[in-house]
Amino acid sequence: MRSRQRMFAAVMRLLLKCLRLGRRRRFKLVRQVEQLWHYGHLCLRSLLYNSFSNGDVVLDSLFEPVYWLVDHVTRWFGVVFVALVIGLTSSIVAIVYICLLPLILQTYTPAWICWHLAYGHWNLIMIVFHYYMAITTSPGHPPQAKNDLTGVSICRKCIAPKPARTHHCSICNRCVLKMDHHCPWLNNCVGHYNHRYFFSFCLFMTMGCIYCSISGWEMFRDAYAAIERMKLLEKERLQVAANQTYYQTPPPTFSFRQRAFHKSVVYLWVLCSSVALALGALTLWHAALITRGETSIERHINRKERQRLQKKGKVFRNPYSYGSWDNWKVFLGVDVPRHWLTRVLLPSPHLPHGTGLSWDLPPCVTEQRAPLLAI
């Protein structure tokens, strides 16, 4: 009996020693893994340490392949987008001339006929002129040689002088003076020399679409109702043919010309209304930027700078803003009152103020304001 108790006690002591030894080894292994993890993390941070790194930099790095794909797709499909704009605009103009203009001449009063002819053709001329100038005018590029440029930085991508308000376009692979953005619908950058053409095209295209949507609302309702009647009569005709009852007369069908007319009116109204909403929102956004004397890129830069100075109790002032009214005069190139007619309401190829390399006070600015901080 005693021998069995001694044997059982020895087995239990041996088991406890094994458990203690296993626990020590397990704890030792965990400590080694933790040490290796901290050491690797410290090495990685020491190799990749940058005082300017933050969450935005990490996200930009992760999305760099997406940016590369978008840049190359936009570069190659720019011609397709331009052809699409020309094709859609031409289709609307053709529908107006072929389908709607004869109806207007037959049913409207002489005063309304004169109004539609005058406003419609003026709006069309402004759209065509500004779109052509926007896609053919170079936005402006800084010179490669650093001759008379003072106080400029160097672009990290093209290793060339980079004046104020100049930014590098990854799609064009060049620096652009007063760059706003790269527009795929123009297949061109929007910069110092064609910014006015781009905005004017957006404005007059929006006005034209709103004009077509409002004036064609009644025609759209009638055409939509006619198409619904076409579908109903077509369904009845098929039912009669399926029943094979010769004593019933099939309902009359619309001609091809009538079908084409009604579908063209519906297509015109839907397309113009959609473009008016989308392009109208873009036009309002750019109008707000012009009022503040900013570009799309400078909007983000100024916002970050404003937040940074606000934390320090300081106020940021845009050095390129001269006030809402003067900003519009500088943007449109209005120096004297008659320029509102000759340069704004009529097609005008006049150049903007300045060369885009330096930003002196324009002559049309009524009051000079000293900037608090330059970007």
Task: Give me the active site residues, please.
Answer: 183
d(CA 202, CA 188): 15
d(CA 308, CA 219): 55
In the chain, the amino acid numbered 140 is: G
Find all residues with CB under 8 Å of 228, minimum gap 6, and list them.
none
d(CA 375, CA 373): 7
Listed residue (31, 284, 20, 72) closest to 182, CA to CA:
72
Residue whose tokens read 């389908």: 99
Kindly provide the b/e burial profile for residues 128-138, where b requires at least 16 CB atoms within 10 angstroms of the residue's own CB.
bbbbebbbebe
d(CA 233, CA 18): 92
3-state helix, strand, coil in the chain (%, to 5): 65, 5, 30
DSSP assignment letter at 192: T
**316's tokens:** 């940021």
Count other C-beta atoms under 10 Å from residue 330's C-beta: 24
d(CA 165, CA 120): 38
| Three-state secondary-structure class, residue 247 | coil
| Three-state secondary-structure class, residue 168 | strand
